[in-house]
Structure 1
Amino acid sequence: MTTSAGSRRPLPTSPFNRPAPAAEPIERYDVGDRVSHDQFGLGRILAVEGDNAAVFVDFAGRQGRILSPFTKLAKL
């Protein structure tokens, strides 16, 4: 007797049956917002590109473009 994997009923306690976690909403930034970056420090948003796809930030004279999803950037 052979059983294909597709016809087996999954165990209710299996860690592989869990639904994917809901994605957290991406932080929205506006021009002039004060921010903190894990690597570059404090800065101010100079421009927002597209629908918050990227932001241009001035970090005390050094400017950088940070791409979404802004994991290392926090609004102050």
Structure 2
Amino acid sequence: MQEFILNDRVTHDKYGLGQVVGIEPGGALLCDFGTQKVKILSPYPKLFKL
């Protein structure tokens, strides 16, 4: 499983390029993809660090 930290640049198969803007207890990530912010739950399917 990949580890993510704040401000990591990421890409998602559905949402495209984005940035990690929040990490919640339990490991959920809040990612800003420009047009929307999306919460992605662990184990982060389709999300990859750039």
How far does residue 34 in structure 1 lie from its aligned partner after superposition?
0.1
Query: Per residue, is there more helix in 1 or in 2?
Result: 1
- TM-score, normalised relative to structure 1: 0.62
Which structure carries more relative contact order (alpha carbon 8 Å, separation 6+)? 2
Percent of aligned pairs sharing the same letter: 40
Q: Secondary structure at the match of 1:70?
A: coil
Amino acid at match of 2:36: R
Specify the alignment match of 2:39 in structure 1.
65
Deviations 1:29-56 (A, max 9, x none): 00000000000000000011125x2100
What is the aligned length? 50
- Runs (4+) off by over 3 Å: none
Structure 1 unaligned blocks of 5 or more: 1-25
1:46 to 6, 18, 21: 21
- TM-score, normalised relative to structure 2: 0.91
Please give the root-mean-square deviation of Cα atoms over the aligned residues, in Å: 1.0
Structure 2 unaligned blocks of 5 or more: none
